[in-house]
Amino acid sequence: MTFEELFTVAEIKDISIMQKNINDDVIATLLRNVKEIEFLPLFKNNFFEDFLQRWSDGTQTTHDIQLKHYMLLFITKCIEYRAVTTLTYQIRASGIVSMNAENAVRVSDTERKTLLDQLNSDKEFHKHTMIKFINNYYQGFATTSRAFKNFDIL
């Protein structure tokens, strides 16, 4: 099983705040970026490979199922943050004024910044929830005593 088979675009769209009609290729591109830049670098050695192997073998545990849920939430928030950041830069670069859903009120830079701050906060919350779960249930599992190399939960 691959990363993309475990975390599908359809699953991401189901739990995301992004519009359901957003192009799947856009989400797939963002998913690849998130995987390489924000997700995989968190893990030590073979932890994630072992996790994927258990899904491939059908030997995943209830903890693996719950961890997949936490991973999906974190990945989705990373994608949402990147999508809004990319859109904000494109709007500024082309000089287009974005509008809210009713197309009546202009969205200010302050409102865009507030949304980005909230998405970033959500992303960090879900990352730390995932890390805490791993540290509680997977200590000593795989090849190291901690699954993460860059973070330590106090």
How confident is the model at residue 109, as a pLDDT? 74
Instruction: Give the pLDDT confidence of 1-13 residue by residue, as tens digits.
Output: 899 999 999 999 8
How confident is the model at residue 106, as a pLDDT? 59
Of the listed ranges 48-52, 102-106, 132-136, the one predicted with least confidence:
102-106
CB 107 within 8 A of CB 99: yes
Residue with tokens 């865009």: 112
CB 3 within 8 A of CB 67: no
Task: Give the mean pLDDT of the chain.
Answer: 80
CB 150 within 8 A of CB 41: yes
Q: How confident is the model at residue 34 (pLDDT cuts 50, 70, 90)?
A: very high
Would you call 54 helix, strand, or coil by DSSP? helix
CB 67 within 8 A of CB 130: yes
Name which of 65, 77, 71 is nearest 16 in CA terms.
Answer: 77
Arithmetic mean of pLDDT, 47-61: 92
Arithmetic mean of pLDDT, 33-52: 89
